Structure 1
């Protein structure tokens, strides 16, 4: 399977690259900037890994990359929309900078929409899947104060998942919003209880059909358990 992963140079994105490579998949690792970690994987896995410049806020760049792959008669089996930011953490509404909100929407919501817009025509492999990396912060049922930009954008991302699922279900494409857990990453911090590699394994299991998401809405955690909308 050919898997496109955004935000692949660190954190969960990097761990998903490693997990997918170890499982024998071909990975297109997209990131705004190159990293030594991805370069090390490139040396180890050779042509099984492609590292590409992919800024989810740059629609022209996304379109150009998709066009290049199309010209090469390339196909995709999965798209993992992982790139995201957590801005204005624990900021009250009175102190909130709306520029943080705008930037969060640009990356966390519009980014996945741009990626799907241009790469969906390439998603033709059997058992194709789109994984939108969401968060428990996007649950309306369990809404909490603070993290306004992040939580609201993840709620909107869940809606995008449902709309997209309705659009592609006749093609047999799986579309899922995944809460990866509170992880030990730059975003999650060292106090987080979950190893991002553990989360990566679950997400790849969902893509491969080893885990079948449960529930009315395709918003689940990395074990496939239903998350509250």
Structure 2
């Protein structure tokens, strides 16, 4: 098990695949506050958490109920919560040109309000120690190519895979800052305060041209390249707060998104992710790594 000692963590897209496995391993590591942000908190996979919650409840050794013992907090909205952002027909405004062009969308304020309300709910449960670890895992992967991707495909993928993580980082920033200050010592680590953006090797402009198989994931690859730029901005702009940020490639994993041909199962991938995340320092701030710790080319 990884030497990750974060007291509090939030994982988006945690109702299946990598997100679900990450929450399970955080539970195994006895992370005291874990928030599962997903579309359907009461879905069929939610029962996989029960053995870990029962273990936590028994380990407390005293009667009664509390969030310090074991609890399920559902964080969801009519607009798919923080896990899978709404598929809006119009894109978002005012995004840095280095990530994308500027669009106009009058619905942005509503989406930000949804995330803001969810963040306030989590913040009310975190207390004075704040949020140590924020994992932007939620993503969509439409199987489209250069010739078949529509404007809507591109916009909706970008909204979920880039704009969603941006808004989540913004709204949870006060709690990350609280955690960074509460640690009371200099330096960066995921035990202190960190943002982990789940990326992909297909976002690499060096790797993508030489991939052995032509993957029809045109919108996905472009959006994840945008997510990598978001990582660079976040690492730079939050450095003074000692909040670490990296992008990480989990490998090609057997999930609904990765498919049956993928060589890695979720357990192996997340074990690697947890080891890497647990070992991060300020030296890796702004890096692009894979689940083994290898540095990925941009």
Same fold (TM over 0.5): yes
Q: Name the structure 1 match of 2:8.
A: 2
Name 1:141's counterpart in structure 2. Answer: 206
Query: 1:178 and 1:73, CA in 2 relative to 1: closer, same or farther beyond 3 A?
Result: closer
| 8 Å CA contact retained: 2:21, 2:266 | yes
Distance 1:173 1:213, change over 3 A: closer
* Residue 294 (structure 2) aligns with: 225
What runs of 5+ residues in structure 1 fail to find an aligned partner? none
What does the per-residue CA deviation read over 1:61-89, in whole Å, with 9 as the maximum and x for residues that have no partner? 210021223344532110000000111x2
Work out whether residues 85 and 108 of structure 1, in 8 Å CA contact, stay in contact via their aligned partners in 2: yes
Q: Determine the structure 2 residue equivalent to 1:30.
A: 37
Shift of 1:143: 2.6
Task: Give the count of matched residue pairs.
Answer: 226
**Contact (CA 8 Å) 1:183, 1:195: kept in 2 or not?**
yes
Q: For residue 12 of structure 1, what is the aligned residue in structure 2?
A: 18
Indicate yes or no: 2:75 matched with 1:52: yes
Give the alignment's TM-score, normalised by structure 1: 0.90
RMSD: 2.2
**Could you tell me how far 1:166 is from its partner in structure 2?**
0.5
| 1:152 and 2:222 aligned | yes
C-alpha separation between the residues in 2 aligned to 1:216 and 1:169? 8
Secondary structure of residue in 2 paired with 1:18:
helix
Question: Could you say which residue in structure 1 is the equivalent of 2:186?
Answer: none
Is contact 1:220–1:227 with CA below 8 Å preserved after alignment?
Answer: yes
Structure 1 residue 140 displacement after superposition: 1.0
Paired residues of 1:213 and 1:224 also in contact (CA < 8 A): no
Q: Which TM-score applies when normalising by structure 2?
A: 0.70
- How far apart, CA to CA, are the structure 1 residues paired with 2:71 and 2:287? 30
Q: Note the C-alpha offset of 1:48.
A: 5.7
**2:27 and 2:52 in contact (8 A); partners too:** no
Distance verdict in 2 for CA 1:225–1:67, change over 3 Å? same
Provide the C-alpha distance between the structure 2 equivalents of 1:22 and 1:206, rounded to a whole number of angstroms. 17
Residues 24 and 52, structure 2, Cα contact 8 Å, conserved in 1: no
2:172 aligned residue? 119
Could you tell me which of 110, 113, 116 is aligned with 1:63? 116
Q: Partner of 1:41 in structure 2?
A: 49
2: CA distance between counterparts of 1:7 and 1:119?
16
- What is the rounded CA distance, in whole Å, between the counterparts of 2:282 and 2:225 in structure 1? 18
The 8 Å contact of residues 130 and 176 in structure 1, kept in 2 or not, is answered as yes
For residues 157 and 60 of structure 1, what CA distance do their matches in structure 2 show?
22
Q: Which residue is equivalent to 2:105?
A: none
**Aligned-pair CA distance for 1:49:** 5.3
* Match of residue 272, structure 2, among 177, 202, 216: 202
Deviations 1:104-144 (A, max 9, x none): 00100001001001001101324211100000011011234
